[in-house]
């Protein structure tokens, strides 16, 4: 790849991006628009890339260009980029059109900071030094990285990141993380009685059931609202303000996290294959699972210190 000029690399990278996005032949006009170059320049460069085996061309009105396997290998990019690439988000949660193809960690033994070098594809001019990013999750290890940009190489498609936070989401079924003990509230119970149940059980919310079926979710906020409106004598069924958000017991905790985020809630009702509630999973449950390896290490360290 070192024999290619900067414009040739830029044009080839744009071809890779457009082809992986649409999975169809790419027109020279599309590449010109993406790179901001003249269409004639694109047509002049393509024969050179084709001659060295990086591009294939199909003639005709429906023709266009497509990258070869050699083009992917030259940039160390998995051929099925659309499935294997890792997304980049801004701190506001906006997804960029830049994707990560490789992550190399640097300075992992430094007590002050950890850096990561990201190999990327996309228009890096949209990112600024000092900007905060969130990368991930990665397909393998389900790692999410939060960091600040300290360097950017547009020519080679690289971002240097000071890592602020790094977590890995375990691949675990909801049923292995959820709280097995489930407290439910009958739909016809008086609100004042239901409030007593939540107080005695030291919980903030409980599923509302009718003949075993899930019909709602009673929260501490619902109770506070009804007390302020002097409605403590009404039934639980009249007091719930939202439908429960559910998740299957065999689903992944990563899906549970995403569902909580999208619904702006901190708990989900876990249901079995028949739709019956069998447990609850909360943000605390998931956090405890993520922290489990740290707890194991600390416990082992404490044991070794005692023996020493």
pLDDT band at 95 (very low <50, low <70, confident <90, very high): confident
25 in Cβ contact with 64 (< 8 Å): yes
- pLDDT at residue 78, rounded to an integer: 55
Question: What average pLDDT does range 264-291 have in this prediction?
Answer: 89
Which two tokens mark 258?
């995403």
- pLDDT at residue 100, rounded to an integer: 84
275 in Cβ contact with 180 (< 8 Å): no
Token match 């260009």: residue? Answer: 65
Which two tokens mark 85?
């690439």
- pLDDT at residue 235, rounded to an integer: 92
Residue 207 has φ and ψ, to the nearest 5°, of: -70, 145
6-74 to CATH, choices 1.10.10.10, 3.30.460.20, 3.40.640.10, 3.40.47.10: 1.10.10.10
**Which range has the top average pLDDT, 103-117, 121-135, 155-169, 182-196?**
182-196
Task: Give the CATH number of domain 174-287.
Answer: 3.10.580.10
Task: Answer with the residue of higher pLDDT: 251 or 84.
Answer: 251
pLDDT tens-place string over residues 144-185:
999 999 999 887 788 999 999 988 888 899 999 998 788 999
- pLDDT at residue 62, rounded to an integer: 77
Left, alpha or beta for 105 (phi > 0: left; psi -120 to 50: alpha)?
beta
CA distance 119 to 103: 6
pLDDT tens-place string over residues 181-205:
889 999 999 999 999 999 999 888 8
The H or E element that residue 154 is part of is: none
Q: Is the pTM of this model over 0.75?
A: no
């Amino acid at each position: 790849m070192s024999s290619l000029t900067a414009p040739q690399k830029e044009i080839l990278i744009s071809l890779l991006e457009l082809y992986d996005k649409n999975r169809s032949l790419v027109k020279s006009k599309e590449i010109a628009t993406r790179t901001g170059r003249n269409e004639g320049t694109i047509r002049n460069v393509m024969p050179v890339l084709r001659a060295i085996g990086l591009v294939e061309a199909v003639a005709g009105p429906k023709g266009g260009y497509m990258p070869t396997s050699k083009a992917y290998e030259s940039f160390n990019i998995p051929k099925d980029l659309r499935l294997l690439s890792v997304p980049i988000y801004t701190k506001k949660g906006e997804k960029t059109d830049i994707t990560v193809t490789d992550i190399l960690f640097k300075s992992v033994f430094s007590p002050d900071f950890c850096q990561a070098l990201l190999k990327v594809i996309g228009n890096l001019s949209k990112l600024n030094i000092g900007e905060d990013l969130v990368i991930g999750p990665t397909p393998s290890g389900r790692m999410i990285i939060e960091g600040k940009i300290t360097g950017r190489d547009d020519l080679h498609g690289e971002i240097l990141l000071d890592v602020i936070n790094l977590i890995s989401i375990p691949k675990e079924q909801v049923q292995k993380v959820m709280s097995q003990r489930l407290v439910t509230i009958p739909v016809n119970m008086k609100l004042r009685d239901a409030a007593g149940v939540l107080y005695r059980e030291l919980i903030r919310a409980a599923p509302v059931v009718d003949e075993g079926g899930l019909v709602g979710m009673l929260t501490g906020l619902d109770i506070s609202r009804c007390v302020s409106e002097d409605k403590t004598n009404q039934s639980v069924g009249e007091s719930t303000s939202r439908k429960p958000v559910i998740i299957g017991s065999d689903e992944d905790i990563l899906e549970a996290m995403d569902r909580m985020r999208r619904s702006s809630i901190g708990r989900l009702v876990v249901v079995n294959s028949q739709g019956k509630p069998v447990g609850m999973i909360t943000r605390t449950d998931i956090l405890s699972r993520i922290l489990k390896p740290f707890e194991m290490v600390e416990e082992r360290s404490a044991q070794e210190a005692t023996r020493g």
